[in-house]
Chain A
Amino acid sequence: MDFLRKKFDEIRKPFNKGGKLEKFAPAINSIDTLLFVPKHNTSKGAHIRDGVDLKRVMVTVIFALLPAMFFGMYNLGYQHFSQLGESTAFIDCIIFGAWKFLPMLLVSYGVGLAIEIAFAIYNQHEVNEGYLVSGMLIPLIMPVDFPLWMLAVSVVFAVFIGKEAFGGTGMNIFNPALIARAFAFFSYAPQMSGDKVWVADASTIDAVSGETILGQLAAGTEPGWSVMDMFLGFIPGSVGETSVLAILIGAAVLIFTGVGSWKIITGTFVGGAVMALIFNTLGVNDLMNFPWWQHLLVGGFAFGAVFMATDPVSGAQTEKGKWIYGILIGFFAILIRVFNGAYPEGMMMAILLMNVFAPTIDHYVIAGNIKKRKNRLKAA
């Protein structure tokens, strides 16, 4: 370890104070603190004796994302080979999936971090770790055949307009990963929706059809997938969203470490379930008749509830507010699914919409609390 440290110190010499490349210090500092434990300790004031910092929080989320990511890669290969009628050996599927997914991940991180570092050097502040998670979320919520340059443009837009325009990590009012997806959705609709994008090479091989379950329901055809497939994730969809099981493992990690709010996650599922139940009783079209608990298994619902809605920056902060925020996300997601034919999936819109309302929810929760305490004071 000592040897590595010395080696790295040698590399970073020109970046230190007075060195030739002093201007680019934020870039090297971010790499330093990512690779090694920072040397500086908290020195004054009351504080919790724990090394938790933004970096560790972000890395926890990345660990939570790993099951969904690996299953997503496997499922990429599985969907592709099974539709072609070829053998779906585990190792073939994983290799094919990695071949398709890793370039997306590289583009997302490369472009996003380049912009973050450029901004950090321009403004002379340290690089924030926020992008570590966004950069991983973005390829996970895109269709597999989404062209890489479009992905790059979406990332540029998300980091510039979704984040830096508001002042960088911690200041954004929207979830940056969802901004990237929304931008891609409205800019390049043919590449982001329809029945040809969700399975690798579906647009070039006629034998492959890649309609998602929600897409099939919106088109009025019966989806040919079993409930077990939906739960385990052997269905077409965005890379990371298909397996509810893998996402629930991630949710357990987030809740256990306290990084993600269980109130938001539970609230979202409850809100979605209630809304879907209401539609079940009305039961006018296929999407309304789709059993309420299956609504929670398909599409981006689970992924959005666990990894997107729980974003501590753009979500509600107050405890009661988290319930309201979560329930309304579930509520709107199902509402958009059922009533807007142009958007078979409503999770993205629902979360972005509630991002806007999160500060308002917090404001009224706090105002209500103040009122309650004032009344208590009067009574006493």
Chain B
Amino acid sequence: MAEGKEALFSKQNKALLSDPLNDNNPISVQVLGICSALAITVQLKPAVVMSLAVLFVVIASNVIVSLIRNLIPGRIRIIVQLLIVASLVILVDQVLKAYAYDVSKELSVFVGLIITNCIVMGRLEAFALANGPWKSFLDGVGNGAGYALILVLVAVFRELLGSGKLFGIEILGHKAKTIADSTGLYALGYENNGFMLLSPMALITVGIIIWVQRSKNRKLIEQH
């Protein structure tokens, strides 16, 4: 069907937005972009910034590649895509360095590594090369949001249980040197879970999310 005649938010287009959030989530179903999900989810703040950065890069690169998809020679398309993604990532990196230096230092190399994030390249190859700019835009929003959803979820668990904070604010009370000086849960003898700060626990958290998702959404379970 011709692109101009389709409604902006037809059923098909809505699915582009909602599918990556659940049935086709880039992290929990396609298991892409795991490395950054493990590395920068110790605290919520870098996880949110990282999510926004990836969201921007996926959307922008999807739209740009979709616009010039008929001009790109098939044989060098990967290089062209890389060039576009790399320019966008450098842009993000410079903006972060200028306006959010602390977070940028925390994210360190992982902003640069968005270039190799499988989700970005995957969407370009699988979607943007074959679809128009509007659909590519929606696909970018959907996948970026699906990535952000898992990242934020994992980071909430890890920061809350690992350091008792969210966004650096002490949620569970203040932990002093002795129990008598502590407040909140710490006054009852509660302790932070140090394992949550180590990356194996991020992997286990992602695993638990996948477990819960599949037991709720039975059609995702592979048949052998």
Query: Which A residues are within 8 Å of any B CB, using their own CB?
Result: 147, 149-150, 153, 161, 165, 183, 186-191
Contacts and interface: CB of A to CB of B under 8 A. Distances in A.
Interface string B198-221: 100000100110010000000000
Contact of B191 (A161, A165, A186, A191): A191
The 10 tightest CB contacts between A and B, nearest first, are A187-B195, A186-B195, A187-B193, A187-B194, A189-B194, A188-B191, A161-B204, A186-B194, A183-B195, A186-B198
Contact of B211 (A153, A165, A186, A191): A165
B198 A150 contact: no
Nearest to B188: A149
Interface residues of B, number: 12
B107 interface: no
Nearest to B191: A188
B191 A150 contact: yes
A166 to B, nearest CB: 11
B196 interface: yes
A1 B78 CA distance: 79
A147 B186 CA distance: 14
Contacts of A183: 195
Contacts of A161: 204, 207-208
A356 to B, nearest CB: 13
A191 B191 CA distance: 10
Interface string B156-198: 0000000000000000000000000000000001110111101
Nearest to A153: B193
Contacts of B195: 183, 186-187
B161 to A, nearest CB: 9
Nearest to A189: B194
B163 to A, nearest CB: 13
A310 to B, nearest CB: 26
Nearest to B161: A187
Interface secondary structure of B, over-half rule: helix
A188 B194 contact: yes
Nearest to A122: B215
B194 A147 contact: no
Contacts of B191: 147, 150, 188, 190-191
Contacts of A149: 189-190
A188 B193 contact: yes
B215 to A, nearest CB: 10
Nearest to A188: B191
A145 to B, nearest CB: 12
B76 to A, nearest CB: 43
A153 B191 CA distance: 12
A147 B207 CA distance: 28
B196 A147 contact: no
Contact of A187 (B190, B196, B208, B211): B196
A158 to B, nearest CB: 12
Contacts of B208: 161
Most buried by B among A150, A187, A190: A187
18 contacts: A147-B191, A149-B189, A150-B191, A153-B193, A161-B204, A161-B207, A165-B207, A186-B194, A186-B195, A187-B193, A187-B194, A187-B195, A187-B196, A188-B191, A188-B193, A189-B194, A190-B191, A191-B191
Contacts of A165: 207, 211
Nearest to A185: B195
Nearest to B204: A161
Nearest to A186: B195
B222 to A, nearest CB: 15
Nearest to A161: B204
Nearest to B200: A186
Given A149-B189, A187-B196, 4 more contacts: A186-B195, A188-B194, A189-B194, A191-B191
A181 to B, nearest CB: 12
A345 to B, nearest CB: 18
Contacts of B190: 149
Contacts of A188: 191, 193-194
Given A165-B211, A186-B198, A147 B193 contact: no
A149 B204 CA distance: 21
Contacts of B193: 153, 187-188
A136 B195 CA distance: 24
A189 B193 CA distance: 9
A147 B211 CA distance: 30
A349 to B, nearest CB: 13
Contacts of B207: 161, 165
A147 B198 contact: no
Given A186-B198, A187-B194, A147 B189 contact: yes
Nearest to A160: B208
Interface in B114-172: none
A187 B204 CA distance: 14
Nearest to B189: A147
A117 B190 CA distance: 27
B212 to A, nearest CB: 11
